[in-house]
Structure 1
C-alpha cells in the first residue's frame, strides 16, 4: 500500500469519503462547509471559497480525490521531512482542541467524532487518547497528535 508522509492511500480515501457526503466522488463547497461546521468551526462562505481555491487545482469548483490527497499529504514535494503537512496537522489539531488549551481531551475527541457521525463512546475516546498519550496526562498534545497521525 502506498504511503505518503505516514498516511496510506486508504486512510486518505476514508477521510475523503467523510467529506464527500453524497458519494459523487468530489467535495463541493457545501460539503466542505458542512464538515467544518460539524467540527465546530464557524467558517464563513468567503473562507470556504478561499479554501476551495487553494485545494481545487484544476478550478472546476470541486475537490477531487487527487487534489484532496495532494493537500492532505502536504503536496507533491518529497523533501519536506517533519515539516511536510505541519500546518495542515496544526489546523486539524486546533479543530479538535475546542477549549484552545493546547490539549485534546477525550470529551473533545468524542464531541468532534460525534459531529462527524462516528459511533463511538466517551470510553472509546479515552482508550484512543490513552494509546497515544506518551506523557500520561490523559490528553493529547500536538507532538503526540503528530506521532499519532504519522503512524503506519
Structure 2
C-alpha cells in the first residue's frame, strides 16, 4: 500500500492503521451518549473504545481473533478496489503484529499494530516537515517548517521568525530545531487541544 506522497512510502502496517482510523465510528459527543455504529455489522459491547470496535468489525466470525483472510475480506468490503490486499500482503500484515505466533491477530496484537501504524505515520509526517528524503538525521528547522506550511497553504503570512517561536515552544533541549520526540510532543499537544 502507498501513502500517496511520492517522497515517502508507507509500511503496510502504517497504511492499514491509517485506513482503520477512517473506519472508526463518530466519537461520542458530550450531549449524545450514542456512538454511530451504522458501518459496523458486529455487535459492539457498550463502553468499548474505537480500536476495539474496529477489531470487532474485522473479526468476522467473532472468535476474538482476526485471520489474514478476515483482514483481507473486510478491507475489501469497506475499502473497495483501492484498499485491497493480496493474500501475501494480508499474511504479512498479520505476521508482523502476531505476538504469540498463532497466525492470527488478537485484540492486543491489533492494538499494537494500530499504535505502530500511528507512529509510522507520525514519522512520515516528521520527515516531510524536515524537508529530508530519508529518516536519518532529520530535524525540523524554522526554514523547513516555513517551507512545509507554505506548501500546505498556511505559511503565506508565517515568517521564519514565527516558525522559530513555534519550534521554541517544544524545543526541550534548546538547540533551535525540533527532533522527532519534540515533534511527537507537539503533535500530542495539538491532539489534546
- Using the size of structure 2 for normalisation, the TM-score is 0.41
Aligned counterparts of 2:161 and 2:167: Cα–Cα separation in 1 = 10
SS in 2 for 1:150: helix
- Using the size of structure 1 for normalisation, the TM-score is 0.50
Aligned counterparts of 2:142 and 2:111: Cα–Cα separation in 1 = 34
The residue number in structure 1 matching 2:168 is 130
Aligned counterparts of 1:104 and 1:114: Cα–Cα separation in 2 = 14
SS in 1 for 2:169: helix
Q: Identify the match of residue 59 of structure 1 among 56, 79, 93.
A: 79
Aligned counterparts of 1:140 and 1:62: Cα–Cα separation in 2 = 35
Q: How many angstroms does 1:86 deviate by?
A: 1.1
Question: RMSD in angstroms over aligned alpha carbons?
Answer: 3.7
- Structure scoring higher RCO (CA < 8 A, sep ≥ 6) equals 1
Out of 135-144 and 95-104, give the one that drifted further.
95-104
SS in 1 for 2:79: coil
1:144 aligns with 2:177: no
CA 1:62 to 1:126, structure 2 compared with 1: closer, same or farther past 3 Å? farther
Larger radius of gyration between Structure 1 and Structure 2 = 2
SS in 2 for 1:102: coil
